[in-house]
């Protein structure tokens, strides 16, 4: 402990990464300070403690996705003998939003109680700003400032939705994921702009809840993911009723009697339609403006605003660290921010030497047909190793219950194997319970298992995962 400073460690941003740092440092008896402050969305939406994941990210998204999946089953109940179920019954948006928000507030309360009652943590519901390399200015909602000092400073301020710069009033004419999960009025006919992760997940559950949904895709679906899998996700979403307009972006958005008139150009022709809601999901920008980074000498990428940190999470100022979504080149996921925070504290205080590894991280896209993957995409593997050096095993299958209940569509799995040493370097699964299936295969990939190891595994029958240990057909 250095008595020169008020805190051993001070964290700016109390999301997945920041709260982990606070927790781990507090358990080691350190004097910990935390500033967490939520800047409202352009529509004034605000939320409680915990950061993006529990408030406007993973948790409310998964609850809405699960609700849409439950709705799908109502079409199958009659086919399987359940009586008195109306397959055309309508969904009530307000009930869902109230329940989702009840869950979110439960998480906020647990966080608040922990922050306020735990010895060694001082929590400031204030905006943090660097003054010098050991001093942080804390600004409250009325603009009043106080200053604190710390030996180490960790920046974990996350990211916020991006907006296009060339459409007048776009921030007020559209909503983002920051607003969707607490939206007071049902979204109605919705245009989702963007074609990645957040866009397709939101479009998928909104279609499942019964809304008329169109996705506007600038170029490809799910940039960075295996493109064969991405196209299959799109095809499945189409079967479910989501519409796609590909190869364009909005050129203007106007208010017409409370609705949104959106115009775009396709094949040289101007087209337009009227929507109740326009949901923008065109990426996220690091929340680093007005953090005083430049003044203190913390380097950032001027274009994205992301902080530049090395493998040990150090910024260009040696006692200032940065973790999570606000850092350049990191995977924008809750578990990576958490593990990164844990390892940072181990290195700072417990002689740890492990850095966060961002390769072979399992992830799942919660589209109506869920997609789990870990390791190389086919496209990236071909680029790195050459097509002739790979075996790509695939399997297209229909889950037992889907056949039974006449559900449309098929599932798909893919393994990418290096010919040279038989090591599996990519796993891709499109089907039910993708997150549960993929987590286990994440261990397989991390342990550098060979295809032959998988061939020696006896499958669980009847299951969808048995398809993966039985794959014998390669492209
Ligand atoms: P955050 O959780 O964003 O926390 C940053 C905190 O800092 C916020 O509370 C912010 O208000 C605060 N802050 C910002 N500036 C200041 C300041 N100057 N002073 C004080 N406080 C400040 N990840 C998954 O793993 N699985 C998923 O299924 C998943 N789904 C997602 C769905 C959506 C719609 C979105 C948007 C994200 C999703 N993510 C998912 C990503 C995940 O939420 C983030 O990667 C994760 O929350 C990042 O954590 P973080 O600690 O870096 O930042
Ligand atoms: P991503 O992964 O950054 O993807 C952004 C998407 O938006 C992508 O499809 C882009 O198309 C598209 N995009 C970008 N700019 C525009 C404009 N101006 N107009 C229309 N479409 C555009 O963002 P997400 O929000 O899905 O996810 C960010 C992270 O949050 C993610 O990692 C999750 O962990 C949570 P492109 O392919 O570039 O043509």
What per-residue confidence (pLDDT) applies to 475? Answer: 80
pLDDT band at 239 (very low <50, low <70, confident <90, very high): very high
Query: Is any atom of ligand 1 closer than 6 Å to the C-beta of 18?
Result: yes
pLDDT band at 233 (very low <50, low <70, confident <90, very high): very high
pLDDT for 78-133, tens place per residue? 888 999 888 889 999 999 999 999 999 999 999 999 999 999 999 999 999 999 99
Percentage above 90 pLDDT, the chain: 92
Distance from residue 38's CA to the centre of ligand 1 (Å): 11
Average pLDDT over the chain reads 96
DSSP code string of 316-382 = SSTTEEE-GGGBTT----HHHHHHHHHHHHHHHHS---PPPP-SS--EEE-SSS-EEEEE--HHHHH
Distance from residue 286's CA to the centre of ligand 1 (Å): 10
Average pLDDT over residues 140-162: 97
pLDDT band at 269 (very low <50, low <70, confident <90, very high): very high
Average pLDDT over residues 297-305: 94
Which residue lies with its CA nearest to atom 3 of ligand 1?
A: 158
What per-residue confidence (pLDDT) applies to 315? Answer: 98
Atom of ligand 1 nearest to the CA of 341: 51
What per-residue confidence (pLDDT) applies to 380? Answer: 98
Checking if the pLDDT of 74 tops 90, the result is: no
What per-residue confidence (pLDDT) applies to 240? Answer: 94
List of long-range contacts for 246-251, beta carbons under 8 Å, 24+ apart: 246/217, 247/217, 247/218, 247/219, 248/216, 248/217, 248/218, 249/164, 249/193, 249/216, 249/218, 250/164, 250/167, 250/191, 250/193, 250/216, 250/278, 251/167
> Which backbone phi and psi does 298 adopt, to 5 degrees?
-85, 120
Strands (E), 93-161: 121-124, 127-132, 135-139, 145-155, 159-161
Active site residue 65: no
pLDDT for 369-408, tens place per residue? 999 999 999 999 999 999 999 999 999 999 999 988 888 8
More confident residue, 239 or 2: 239
Query: Ligand 1: which of 53, 63, 200 to mutate, judged by most atoms within 8 Å of the beta carbon?
Result: 53
Average pLDDT over residues 30-52: 98
Which residue lies with its CA nearest to atom 31 of ligand 2?
A: 332
Which listed ligand is nearest to 251 at the C-alpha? 2
State how far the alpha carbon of 424 is from the alpha carbons of 225, 357, 384, 466, in Å: 17, 18, 14, 17
What per-residue confidence (pLDDT) applies to 392? Answer: 97
What per-residue confidence (pLDDT) applies to 87? Answer: 84
Which listed ligand is nearest to 223 at the C-alpha? 2
Average pLDDT over residues 230-251: 97
Percentage above 70 pLDDT, the chain: 100
Average pLDDT over residues 309-333: 97
Q: Supply the pTM of this predicted model.
A: 0.97
Atom of ligand 2 nearest to the CA of 331: 32
Pocket of ligand 2 (CB under 6 A): 164, 193-199, 218-220, 223, 249, 281-284, 332-333
Average pLDDT over residues 213-240: 97
Which residue lies with its CA nearest to atom 28 of ligand 1?
A: 58
Rounded Cα gap, residues 315 and 441, in angstroms: 34
For 26-57, give one letter per residue: b (16+ CB within 10 A) or e. beeebbbbbbbbbeebbeebebbbbbbbbbbb
Distance from residue 124's CA to the centre of ligand 1 (Å): 18
pLDDT band at 15 (very low <50, low <70, confident <90, very high): very high
pLDDT band at 267 (very low <50, low <70, confident <90, very high): very high
What per-residue confidence (pLDDT) applies to 113? Answer: 97
pLDDT band at 194 (very low <50, low <70, confident <90, very high): very high
Query: Is any atom of ligand 1 closer than 6 Å to the C-beta of 16?
Result: yes
Distance from residue 56's CA to the centre of ligand 1 (Å): 8
Query: Is any atom of ligand 1 closer than 6 Å to the C-beta of 13?
Result: yes
Which listed ligand is nearest to 363 at the C-alpha? 1
Checking if the pLDDT of 1 tops 80, the result is: no
Distance from residue 411's CA to the centre of ligand 1 (Å): 31
What per-residue confidence (pLDDT) applies to 414? Answer: 98
ipTM of the complex: 0.96
pLDDT for 196-207, tens place per residue? 999 999 999 999
Which listed ligand is nearest to 18 at the C-alpha? 1
């Amino acid at each position: 402990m250095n008595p020169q400073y008020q805190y051993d460690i001070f964290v700016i941003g109390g999301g997945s990464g920041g709260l982990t740092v606070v927790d781990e440092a507090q358990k080691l008896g350190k004097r910990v300070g935390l500033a967490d402050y939520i800047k409202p969305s352009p529509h004034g939406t605000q939320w409680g403690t915990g950061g993006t994941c529990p408030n406007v990210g993973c948790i409310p998204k998964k609850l809405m996705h699960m609700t849409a999946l439950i709705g799908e089953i109502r079409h199958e109940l009659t086919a399987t003998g359940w009586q008195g179920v109306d397959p055309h019954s309508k969904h009530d948006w307000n009930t869902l939003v109230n329940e989702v928000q009840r869950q979110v507030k439960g998480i906020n309360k647990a966080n608040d109680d922990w922050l306020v009652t735990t010895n060694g943590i001082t929590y400031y519901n204030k905006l943090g700003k660097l003054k010098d390399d050991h001093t942080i200015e804390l600004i409250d909602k009325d603009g009043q400032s106080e200053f604190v000092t710390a030996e180490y400073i960790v920046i974990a301020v996350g990211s916020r939705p991006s907006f296009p710069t060339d459409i007048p009033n776009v921030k007020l004419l559209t909503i983002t994921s920051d607003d969707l999960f607490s939206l007071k009025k049902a979204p109605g006919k919705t245009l989702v702009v963007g074609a990645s992760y957040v866009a397709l997940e939101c479009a998928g559950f909104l279609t499942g809840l019964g809304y008329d949904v169109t996705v506007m895709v600038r170029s490809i679906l799910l940039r960075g993911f295996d493109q064969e899998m991405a196209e299959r996700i799109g095809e499945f979403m189409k079967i479910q009723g989501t519409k796609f307009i590909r190869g364009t972006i909005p050129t203007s958005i106007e208010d017409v009697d409370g609705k949104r008139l959106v115009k775009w150009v396709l094949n040289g022709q101007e087209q337009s339609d009227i929507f109740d809601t326009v949901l923008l999901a065109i990426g996220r920008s690091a929340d680093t403006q007005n953090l005083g980074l430049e003044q203190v000498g913390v380097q950032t990428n001027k274009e994205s605003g992301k902080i530049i940190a090395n493998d040990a999470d150090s910024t260009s100022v040696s006692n200032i660290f940065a973790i999570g979504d606000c850092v350049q080149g990191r995977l924008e996921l809750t578990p990576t921010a958490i593990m990164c925070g844990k390892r940072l504290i181990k290195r700072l205080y417990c002689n740890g030497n492990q850095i966060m590894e961002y390769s072979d991280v399992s992830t799942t896209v919660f589209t109506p047909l869920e997609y789990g993957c870990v390791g190389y995409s086919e496209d990236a593997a071909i680029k790195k190793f050459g097509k002739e050096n790979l075996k790509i095993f695939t399997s297209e299958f229909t889950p037992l219950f889907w056949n039974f209940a006449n559900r449309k569509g098929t599932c798909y799995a893919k393994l990418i194997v290096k010919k040279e040493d038989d090591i599996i370097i990519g796993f891709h699964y499109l089907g039910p319970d993708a997150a549960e299936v993929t987590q286990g295969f994440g261990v397989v990939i991390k342990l550098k298992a060979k295809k032959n190891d998988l061939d020696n595994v006896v499958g669980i029958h009847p299951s969808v995962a048995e398809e993966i240990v039985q794959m014998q057909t390669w492209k």
